[in-house]
Structure 1
Amino acid sequence: MSTATLFSGITERDWQTNDPEGTVRLALIGLGWWVREEAIPAIEQGEFCETTVVVSGSTEKAESVKQGSPTINHGLTYDEFHDGAAADAYDAVYICTPNATHLEYAETAAELGKDVLCEKPMEATVDRAERLVRTCDERDVTLMIAYRMQTEPAVRRARELIQDGFIGDTLLVQGHMSDSLLELIPDPNQWRLDPNLSGGCSLIDIGIYPLNTTRFLLDDDPTDVQGRTVSSHDAFAEVDEHATFQAAFPNGVSAIYSASHNAQGASFLKVLGSAGEITIEPIFFPWDDRELVLRKGSATDRISFEQVNQMTEEFDYFGYCLLTGIEPAPDGRHGLRDMQIIETIYESAADERWKSVPGVDR
């Protein structure tokens, strides 16, 4: 594939091959700032989903959000959702509550026969993630994990280039994501800083972005990992403030990552090969304009393109899969693998040594 071809079609949806009729009606569970400011507007911009139900711990918040959208007909409390209220008004759920509560909402959705789009990380522990996958399997409902990088056009084009041999043999991956959590959410009691609700902090919350994106780009999983976590700020006393980790992939590919919830905001992913290099920077924040940089020998191509809403792409992909009967690529088992890898990295950080990821073919 030439870079000219890549540039001309970079935002085309290669996963969409037809125009299915209808839309998937969604119940959004959890009405934090991400759902209100990112998810609801993204769904409104899309083609294949619409929000018809919102669910919150606060009746007042649910009603307020309901009043702000012409498609939302029901505002429910969590208890009302678990009781099956307004179940005829939605086809699937989007779960965006604290990590350690994803399972309970997925269980209720599955019992009601509703498909599930679950935010990443899919739970706070491997055990609960396994139960989440098992629940959806037993009830025969679709489970997709919300990895928006997998529908980001720049990432999908980079994947094609790597598969087509543009960089030669893949050798090294470098990735980073950081922000200032307490500036974004100025609450020292927020759930991300509670290990029982989050399962961790920088690594599990944002370190998962470069890790999972690498898995998608290479279509492979790491076999061994080594990690280190550091916390010095009082608010991060029980969780990781900064994390660095390495991963060994098959075929001699090495990866080096860093993540921080208390640093200058930044994000990038670089894949270096024997014949070239691909960098996407910035990459992981939906409000940043992404740029794809290709280097081969002495030549450098900087590819800018019309930006798409990453969340709209993610929701439309989910809706498209449900409307057409296609199994979404980032399914529950894919998300479970991330949980297993991250748990192993945390164990490595505690033991200060490399550890093998359980269940990965070598």
Structure 2
Amino acid sequence: MAQGSGTVGIGLIGAGGITRGHVRGYNAIGDQVKVVAIADVVEENARTRAEEVGGADVLTNYGELVKRDDVDAVDICLPHHLHADAIITAANAGKYVLCEKPLCLTVAEADAVRQAVEHNGVTLMCAHNQLFMPAVARTRELLDAGTFGEIYELRTTDSFLSRATGSGGMTWRSRVATAGGGELIDTGYHPTYLLLHLAGSSPTQVAAMVSKHRLTFMEGEDSAQVLVRFDNGAVGTIVTGWAYTPAPGTERFSIVAEKGSLSSDGTTIDYQLNDEDPVRIDLPDVDNMAAEIADFVACVRDGKRPVNTEDEGIQVLKVILGAYQSARTGTIVDLASL
């Protein structure tokens, strides 16, 4: 489509539970975008989503969906192990791509994704919805302004108590072959991309321990702790899990730096510069998935660069793959070796 003109036609690939948030986003900007087709091997799921968007063609094969002239961009909401093939198929058809996390599962897949995107001149946006929290955007502004000076340490957390009692309730998420691991490459992907976004620096080394505390039916871990060294010398900590409710007062993210420190629960920012009074900033609690969808549509319409493309997506993936290698071997992993 010509930049800045017309309604963006979306093809939704996958119609599982995660797509509910995506549909909310598209419906909120219905004057700019239209979901014209939905593909899912479970036709009933596709029909349900089609009703929610006010009508869309239902298919069971996304290979047919990407051939349609009325599809300008695709939104991939498939199980993890299917991401790479869907991205490559869409890119080869000349479609812009929004893909749910993780980008893919291996470095080889990531290389193939990058090649397809670059060869076909399309834009890929990684669906990193927590970057659209106003608290994250405001913190990034403060960091870019030099408010805190050199960053020393960062911490991101994303943990909750899963009520799942068996693999039946988690289906493909409980299997390493289809999920790519356990909790770390699923929910743990959020605090990983958030850590890298706030650090504003390239990760160089990773050390990790993973655990299986409660969800013993899973093949992979149900919680993880990860240390990341960045090339500017900063060290980041990721704490994530499905095994427990975090302790009261646990922050969503925090930063310790040369001129002071900051912490946030996701809606409120508290910071204090050295020898100054503390500052509190209250921010709205927005639907960050809907905000992500609006930004993707703007990228398609206006040709702007997404916050996280395949470049950032591959960095996040390598941190997680490095963490898994570290947990297996008990060593610190240099990411340049992956």
User: One fold, TM greater than 0.5?
Assistant: yes
CA 1:25 to 1:235, structure 2 compared with 1: closer, same or farther past 3 Å? farther
2:14 and 2:39 in contact (8 A); partners too = yes
1:279-311 deviation line (CA, Å, top 9, x unaligned): 121x3xxxxxx2222222452222222332211
* Pair 1:305 & 2:289 matched: no
Matched, 1:149 2:130: yes
CA pair 97-184 structure 1, distance change in 2 beyond 3 A: farther
The corresponding residue for 2:80 is: 99
Matched, 1:74 2:57: yes
Give the aligned partner of residue 268 of structure 2: 291
Residue of structure 1 in register with 2:304 after alignment: 326
Q: State which of 14, 19, 42 in structure 2 corresponds to 1:58.
A: 42
Distance 2:110 2:291 in 1: 25
Matched, 1:138 2:119: yes
Separation (CA, whole Å) in 2 of partners of 1:206 and 1:21:
36
Shift of 1:59: 1.6
- Is 1:111 matched up with 2:92? yes
Compared CA separation, residues 44 and 165, structure 1 to 2 (3 A): same
Q: Which amino acid aligns with 1:42?
A: G
**Of 35, 42, 47, which aligns to 2:25?**
42
Instruction: Supply the AA of the counterpart residue of 2:76.
Output: I
Structure 1 residues 219-238: Cα deviation after superposition (integer angstroms, max 9, x where no partner): 21221110001114454441
Q: Deviations over 1:243-289 (max 9, x none)?
A: 011111123211122110221167610011122212121x3xxxxxx
How far residue 20 of structure 1 moved from its aligned partner, in angstroms, is 4.1
Letter in 2 for 1:33: G
Change (3 A) 1:211 1:69: closer
**1:90 CA drift (Å):** 1.7
What secondary structure sits across from 2:331 in the alignment? Answer: coil
Which residues of structure 2 form unaligned runs of 5+?
none
> What root-mean-square deviation, in Å, do the aligned CA atoms of Structure 1 and Structure 2 show?
2.4
CA contact (8 A) 2:72 2:95 kept: yes
In 2, Cα distance between the equivalents of 1:307 and 1:205?
23
Does the aligned pair in 2 maintain the 1:340–1:358 contact within 8 Å?
Answer: no
Task: Mark the CA change 1:185 to 1:49 in structure 2 (over 3 Å): closer, same or farther.
Answer: farther
Q: Report the CA distance between 1:106 and its aligned residue.
A: 1.6
1:146-189, CA deviations, whole angstroms, 9 ceiling, x for partnerless residues? Answer: 11233332211101111222223211101111123344998445
How many angstroms apart in 2 are the aligned matches of 1:223 and 1:309?
A: 33
Q: Amino acid of the residue matched to residue 99 of structure 2?
A: C
Where in structure 2 are the equivalents of 1:333-348 lying within 5 Å?
Answer: 333-348=311-326
For 2:301 and 2:206, the matched residues in 1 are separated by 38
Q: After the TM superposition, which residues 1-362 of structure 1 pair with which residues of structure 2 at under 5 Å, given as runs?
A: 20-36=4-20, 38-46=21-29, 48-70=32-54, 72-77=55-60, 79=61, 81-84=62-65, 87-183=68-164, 187-233=168-214, 235-264=216-245, 268-281=252-265, 283=266, 290-296=267-273, 297=275, 299-358=277-336
Give the distance between the partners of 1:188 and 1:267, measured in 2 at CA.
29
Quote the residue 1:4 is aligned against: none
Structure 1: where are the runs of 5+ without partners? 1-18, 284-289
Aligned length: 331
Give the C-alpha shift of residue 200 in structure 1.
Answer: 1.0
Identical-residue share of aligned pairs (%)? 25
Q: Report if aligned partners of 1:188, 1:235 keep a CA contact under 8 Å in 2.
A: no
The CA deviation at 1:111 is: 2.8
Distance in 2 (alpha carbons) for counterparts of 1:93 and 1:278: 37
The residue identity in structure 2 corresponding to 1:356 is D
Q: Distance in 2 between matches of 1:212 and 1:85?
A: 28
**Aligned counterparts of 1:341 and 1:246: Cα–Cα separation in 2:** 10
The CA distance in 2 between the partners of 1:84 and 1:149, in whole Å, is 29
- The change in CA–CA distance for 1:142 and 1:202 in structure 2 (over 3 A counts) is same
TM-score after normalising by structure 1: 0.84
Q: Is the 8 A contact 2:11 2:65 kept in 1?
A: no
Distance 1:43 1:184 in 2: 33
Q: Deviations over 1:87-128 (max 9, x none)?
A: 123210110111110122222212322111111111122221
CA contact (8 A) 1:178 1:260 kept: yes
- Distance in 1 separating the partners of 2:72 and 2:166: 32
